[in-house]
Amino acid sequence: MLKTTPESGSAKADERSGFLLYNRRPALSEEILESLNEAETITGINISELRMRMIGLGIGAFNIKGSLNDLETCAADMKTIGFDTAVVAKDFIKKGKLPSPARQLNLTDSTMTFFDANENTLFEIKKETDLLIIITDLSGKVVRQMMTAMAYTGNAINKRFEENLKKISISKPAAIFYALNSDTQSGVYVDSEIFAYMGLNDKLTYSKGSNFRVMINEAMTLCKTSTTEENFGISLLPGANPEWSKGKSSVEKELGRYARYILTAVERKLLPFEPESPDPSKNGNSSSTENTTEVNHMGMQSSKGLQPPPDMNYSKITSLFQTSLPELIVGLIVLVSPFSFFMSGIQSISAHHVFWKAATGSAIVLAGFLMFCYSLLLLYYRRMVENTPTSKVRSLSMGMVELSGRAKLYYDLRASATKTPCVYYRCRYYKYQRTSDSSHWRLTRSVASGKIPFYIQDDTGQVLIKPKGAVFNIPMVTQSFQGSYIPTLSLQLHDPNTKVVEELVPERARLYVLGSAHIEKHGKKTREIIIDKLRMLKQSPKTMSEYDVNGDGNIDGDEWEAARNDAERMVYAESLANGPGESETVVIEKPRFGMLPFIIADSEKNLIRKLMFRTWIFLVGGLITIGFSTNFFYN
C-alpha cells in the first residue's frame, strides 16, 4: 500500500506537516465526553470546538501544527484515552489523483474486469480481493438533499448504504474501486456518464441508475471483503471540499484527494467504523449499522420540552455599560486627547489655546488616574478569584461563590445559522463589495441571543445562572461559512459573495462562574393568599351571612375578625397538606452591592492569566499616562 505516514520507530525524523484523521460520530457517549478534557490538552483544540467537530458523518481531520512525528505522538496519546486516530501527510493528500478511468467492464461468475477505451485491462475484482468502494454523486444533488434534511431536523442522519446507493444512482453516480490487499495500490474510476454497462450481460437493465447499482452489488458479492464509503461532500476535509458549481472537473479533483483520506483511514483501521451504541444488546457486527440513526447534530439529548428563550435584545450602549464601563470611559478620554492637542495648535483660535491645552492635560490626567484605579480593581478581582474556594452545587452557600461545571440549557436556545444548541451565540452576516478603489466584506446584519439564563451542572446537581450584567471571558467556538452548501446550516449560501460568521458557547461547554448566590422565591406569599381568600369571601353574600351572628345584616369588627381567623386557619391547613405555596430557587447573578465581580469564563486558570495581563497593562499604562500629563502641565 502507499506509505502515508513515517514508519514507527524510524530513526530519521519526518518534519513534513500533516493532518490527524478521526472518526466523526452520530452521538458522543458519556465516556467520550469525559475524555474531551484530555483531548483538549493533547491536541490544543478548544473543548467546545472538539465537541462540535466530532459530531457528524464520515471522517474528520484536525489541522494541528507540528511535524508528522509530533502528530504520531499525538495520535498515540489520543488512542490511550479512547480515540482512534491516524496521521496523513499533507503532500500525500495534495498529490492525490483519481485512478485511471474505466470505459467498460466484463462480468463473469468469478471476476469483474474493468477496461479502458482501448480494451486494456485496468482493474480486476476476484474472490480474494479486499475491496474499497467510494461512491458519490458528481452533481451534488444527493449531498444537498442530505444536508437539507440535517439542517431542517437539526440531526445527523446516518442511513444504510443501500438507501444512499439508490439515491446516488438516480443522479450522476460515480465510483472508485481499490484493491486493498495488492502489493501496489491499484484502483479504477467509473463515471457513469461515459461508462458502458454492456458487460453486465444478463444482469443488464434499461436504466443507467439500475446498472450502476447492479455493478456495485455484484462487486461486493464477488470480493472477499468490502468496505464502502459515501460521505464525499459531507465529510468536510481540507483540500477535499467540492464546490459543485465549478463543474465536474473541479469536483473530480477534490474527489481524488478525498480518496487519499479514505485510503489512509482504511489502512489505519479507522474504517469501517461502528459508533458506540447505547444498546448493550447489540453485538457490534456490521448489521448493527444498517439501522437509521438520528441524533442531535451536537450529539446531545434533545431539548424537547424546554420553553423558547425570551426576547433579550439589548442596545449596544447598554451592553457596553454592563460589561466594560471603565474601558469605555478610558477610551472616550483617550479619543478626546488627540482632538484637544489638535485644537490647541490651531492659530486661528489662539485666543482659546490655553483652554484647549488645559482640557488636554485634564483629559490625560483623568485617563491615567482611571487606568491606575481600574488596574487596582482588576487586581482585587484576581485576588478574589484566587482566594475563593470552588464549591460544589450541592454545598454552595449564599453570597459570593465560585463554581465550575458544564453548561446546560434552561431555554431551548439554538444558534440562528446552524441551529446548534447553545447558551449564547452571536451571528454576523457579510456581503462582499467591490468598488473601483478597493473591495471588502461589509457587515449587513448582526444578531445575538442576549444573555439568556442557563444551568451550570456538576456531579452533585445544577444551579440556575442569570448572566445579565456578567463579564464574558469565554473563547467562543467560531464557524465561518462562505458561498457554499454547509451541513446543518439553516440557510444555504449559493452566493459566493455572502459569508456568515457564527460564534457560540455550545451546550455542555465547561464553564467557570464567579457571582452572587441567593434564594429567589416564586409564587404567592401566605399573606397574599389570605387576602385572596377574604376577597372571595366578600364576594359571596351566602358565606358572609354565616358570620352574621347577631342577624343584623351587617358584619361588625368581631364578626370580621372571626372570618379572618377562619381564612388564616384554612390557608395554613392547605399549606400543611399540599406544601408551601411559595417555592424557592437558588440562582447566581450579578451582586447587588459594591464592586463585587460577576464573571463567566472557560476556566479559573485562564481567567487568572487574563486578569493578570490586563492588570499590568492598565497599571503600566496609567503610570505612564500620569507621568506624561505631569510633564505636560509642568511645561
Is residue 70 predicted with pLDDT exceeding 50? yes
Is residue 288 predicted with pLDDT exceeding 50? no
Is residue 275 predicted with pLDDT exceeding 70? no
Q: For 558-580, what is the HEC assignment?
A: HHHHHHHHHHHHHHHHHHHHHCC
Is residue 448 predicted with pLDDT exceeding 80? yes
The pLDDT value recorded for residue 149 is 61
Strand, coil or helix: 19: strand
Residue 11: exposure state from Cβ atoms within 10 A (0-12, 13-18, ≥19): exposed
Is residue 139 predicted with pLDDT exceeding 80? yes
Alpha-carbon distance 357 to 354, whole Å? 5
Alpha-carbon distance 529 to 60, whole Å? 60
Of all residues in the chain, what percent carry a pLDDT higher than 70? 76
Q: What is the pLDDT of residues 37-46, one digit of tens each?
A: 889 889 988 7
Burial readout 183-200 (b: 16 or more C-beta within 10 A, e: otherwise)? eeeebbbbbbeebebebb
Which residues, 6 or more positions from 204, have their beta carbon under 8 angstroms from its beta carbon? Answer: 197, 198, 211, 214
Length of the chain counted residue by residue: 635
Q: For 343-385, what is the HEC assignment?
A: HHCCHHHHHHHHHHHHHHHHHHHHHHHHHHHHHHHHHHHHHHH
Per-residue cell: 599: 464573571
Q: What is the pLDDT of residues 234-263, one digit of tens each?
A: 887 888 888 888 889 999 999 999 999 999
Q: Which of 61-65, 359-363, 495-499, 613-617 has the lowest mean pLDDT?
A: 359-363
Alpha-carbon distance 85 to 91, whole Å? 19
The pLDDT value recorded for residue 596 is 82
Residue 234 DSSP one-character state: T
Q: Which residue has the higher pLDDT, 33 or 179?
A: 179
Of all residues in the chain, what percent carry a pLDDT higher than 90? 25
Sign of CA dihedral 390, 395, 401, 406: positive
Do the beta carbons of residue 458 and residue 403 sit within 8 Å? yes
Correct CATH for 18-93 of 3.90.79.10, 3.30.1390.10, 3.55.40.20, 2.70.70.10: 3.30.1390.10
- Chain centroid to CA 496: 23
| Mean pLDDT calculated for residue range 76-103 | 91
> How far is the CA of 504 from the CAs of 148, 272, 344, 451, 457, in angstroms?
22, 33, 46, 12, 19
Do the beta carbons of residue 493 and residue 39 sit within 8 Å? no
Alpha-carbon distance 322 to 601, whole Å? 16
| Mean pLDDT calculated for residue range 63-78 | 90
| Mean pLDDT calculated for residue range 308-318 | 60
As a whole number, the mean pLDDT across the chain is 78
Q: What is the pLDDT of residues 54-64, one digit of tens each?
A: 877 889 898 88
Q: Which residue has the higher pLDDT, 91 or 544?
A: 91
Q: Which residue has the higher pLDDT, 3 or 252?
A: 252
The pLDDT value recorded for residue 490 is 44
pLDDT confidence tier of residue 341, bands split at 50, 70 and 90: low
The pLDDT value recorded for residue 323 is 44
Do the beta carbons of residue 49 and residue 60 sit within 8 Å? no
Is residue 332 predicted with pLDDT exceeding 70? no
The pLDDT value recorded for residue 299 is 40
pLDDT confidence tier of residue 526, bands split at 50, 70 and 90: low
The pLDDT value recorded for residue 3 is 54
Q: List strands edge to edge, sheet with 104-107.
A: 104-107, 112-115, 121-125
| Mean pLDDT calculated for residue range 187-208 | 92
Is residue 310 predicted with pLDDT exceeding 60? yes
Alpha-carbon distance 256 to 419, whole Å? 32
- Residue that the C-alpha cell 480494451 belongs to: 119
pLDDT confidence tier of residue 266, bands split at 50, 70 and 90: very high
Alpha-carbon distance 348 to 268, whole Å? 78
Is residue 516 predicted with pLDDT exceeding 70? yes
Q: What is the pLDDT of residues 95-136, one digit of tens each?
A: 889 999 999 999 999 999 999 999 999 999 999 999 999 999
Q: What is the pLDDT of residues 549-588, one digit of tens each?
A: 777 777 777 778 888 888 877 776 666 565 555 566 788 9
Q: What is the pLDDT of residues 386-440, one digit of tens each?
A: 888 888 888 888 888 999 999 999 988 888 777 778 899 988 888 888 887 788 8
Q: Are strands 583-589 and 454-458 parallel, antiparallel or unpaired?
A: unpaired
pLDDT confidence tier of residue 8, bands split at 50, 70 and 90: very low
Alpha-carbon distance 38 to 268, whole Å? 22
pLDDT confidence tier of residue 500, bands split at 50, 70 and 90: confident
Per-residue cell: 26: 452520530
| pTM of this prediction exceeds 0.95 | no
If one counts every other C-beta atom within 10 angstroms of the C-beta of residue 44, the result is 12
Residue 187 DSSP one-character state: E
Q: What is the pLDDT of residues 368-388, one digit of tens each?
A: 787 888 888 888 888 888 888
Is residue 2 predicted with pLDDT exceeding 50? yes
Strand, coil or helix: 57: coil
If one counts every other C-beta atom within 10 angstroms of the C-beta of residue 250, the result is 13
pLDDT confidence tier of residue 9, bands split at 50, 70 and 90: very low
Burial readout 527-551 (b: 16 or more C-beta within 10 A, e: otherwise)? eebbeebeeebeeeeeebeebeeee
